Structure 1
């Protein structure tokens, strides 16, 4: 089945998950490959099986070469220990999951391999990221969208995944079913410390206190799960590692200094909160 037809089938079955980002009304018709709301705002499925819901142009630093580097790093297993822990924390693996700021979709794809079985919708403001994800992974419905004007219906989602991406907790609570989960992944103080060593001195240290405190304000009963491990990279992977994150884009290091990047510390915190019943 072509991607556009697979996406059409998904939309037909899951139309209740979406709302028009222009007028906030529900979508009531899928005519061919065009989705229309009750006020006749329409959005067309692309040949890649994606929908573009951005209401105005959005600049993104995510170039295709950067995203390909990020995808290769994901495929070599860089994030797997963190994602294994995250998967164990999902309360409803058969529920509807929303991946907020999905990039090229590798995190959701791995979680589906682990056993995440319900519908998975992933979105990002980066059209390049969404296109790469849609071209690579079969079981995720990809959208180009903005969290500030999200095209999703109220109280339809069981799990929101917020992995190293911006948050909007008021919007998360609107989207979640009562009792639904927000699972947010943030850096720990030693996250990528080998790479931070190349930054200006004022940027070499990191504190997640402000981000964590904000999460806890919205979800006072949230749980916190530390994940720490190291990853060994070969020369090609070091190049991809430098390309995949803004921290690496402007580094000019000698060959001797680059050796320090062959062994990377991944220090992260997974925060899990539930919308009140």
Structure 2
């Protein structure tokens, strides 16, 4: 059965009570919420890597309001269709576990792992979803064994080409969810004098073949508080014109288009 690997030596971590330990003697304590921190201090680029607490709390409120529910349900439906029975799945860049939770509801027989570099987010994910296994870890050094997963999915999160190829066996699935050209277009018009659509790109991933690319679109109407949270949880928190951002609360209810691409890749099978 798939389990965590040691981030120092890549050996299997064995759990005894609330401690993970490898044969080399490296050990990691499980937090009371149920996650384990597998991000070595020498691999951190800052004291608190990943999304800050303000972004995490804003995203938590947006997800609690089910703003992204149609996308989450579509991801769950597609993965249920594309994955084998009793799948082993990694939510890469899981954040506070919103998409993991919807997927766990849809696939009762699934084994789910989730990693994120932001500890406050992983803490929330582990506390909310006890069926999942969550760790603080880097997407560029995932502490899981080679070819140990049936599927990996990312939602607006970076991924390593090499790690995807390593983690997936031949025929394994990778689903990349990213913004489509018109995503949040009305908001971009509000924040920028000359807004530009998102660039739609299909990455060439060594060892993986693109099988399909589909779009998911829907509109939502947001109250001023949720609109501010939506800005705070996205890159728009650091962009846009200051005066325009200050005026968001005066807009009243605001209708915005949500648009996404679902890019399905498969690990190439050996001839």
Q: Is the 8 A contact 1:242 1:249 kept in 2?
A: no
TM-fit CA distance, 1:149: 1.9
> Which of 178, 203, 215 in structure 2 is aligned with 1:213?
203
Cα distance in 1 for partners of 2:208, 2:267 equals: 7
Could you tell me which runs of 5 or more consecutive residues in structure 1 were left unpaired when the two chains were aligned. Answer: 1-13
Q: Which residue does the alignment assign to 2:31?
A: 46
Q: Which residue does the alignment assign to 2:72?
A: 83
TM-fit CA distance, 1:159: 1.1
Q: Is the 8 A contact 2:89 2:113 kept in 1?
A: yes
Q: Which residue does the alignment assign to 1:18?
A: 4
TM-fit CA distance, 1:199: 4.5
> Which of 260, 263, 268 in structure 2 is aligned with 1:271?
263
Could you say if the C-alpha distance between residues 259 and 117 of structure 1 is closer, same or farther in structure 2, counting changes exceeding 3 Å? farther
Q: Which residue does the alignment assign to 1:166?
A: 158
RMSD: 2.3
Partner SS for 2:25: coil
Cα distance in 2 for partners of 1:220, 1:121 equals: 23
Offset from partner CA, 1:30-69 (integer Å, 9 cap, x none): 2332211121111111112111011123433522232122
TM-fit CA distance, 1:72: 1.8
> Which of 212, 223, 228 in structure 1 is aligned with 2:217?
228
TM-fit CA distance, 1:116: 5.1
> Which of 252, 255, 258 in structure 1 is aligned with 2:243?
252
Cα distance in 1 for partners of 2:216, 2:123 equals: 30
Q: How does 1:157-196 map to 2 (within 5 A)?
A: 157-196=149-188
TM-fit CA distance, 1:213: 3.4
Q: Which residue does the alignment assign to 1:5?
A: none
Could you say if the C-alpha distance between residues 26 and 197 of structure 1 is closer, same or farther in structure 2, counting changes exceeding 3 Å? same
1:70 aligns with 2:59: yes
Cα distance in 2 for partners of 1:21, 1:237 equals: 38
Offset from partner CA, 1:111-162 (integer Å, 9 cap, x none): 2223353111111000111112223333222110012222111111111011
Q: Is the 8 A contact 2:95 2:121 kept in 1?
A: yes
Cα distance in 1 for partners of 2:58, 2:248 equals: 22
Q: How does the TM-score come out when normalised to structure 1?
A: 0.84
> Which of 101, 105, 110 in structure 2 is aligned with 1:109?
101
Q: How does the TM-score come out when normalised to structure 2?
A: 0.86
Choose 195-204 or 65-74, whichever is displaced more. Answer: 195-204
Pick the structure with more helix per residue: 1
Cα distance in 1 for partners of 2:102, 2:248 equals: 34
TM-fit CA distance, 1:221: 4.1
Choose 57-66 or 197-206, whichever is displaced more. Answer: 197-206
Cα distance in 2 for partners of 1:100, 1:192 equals: 23
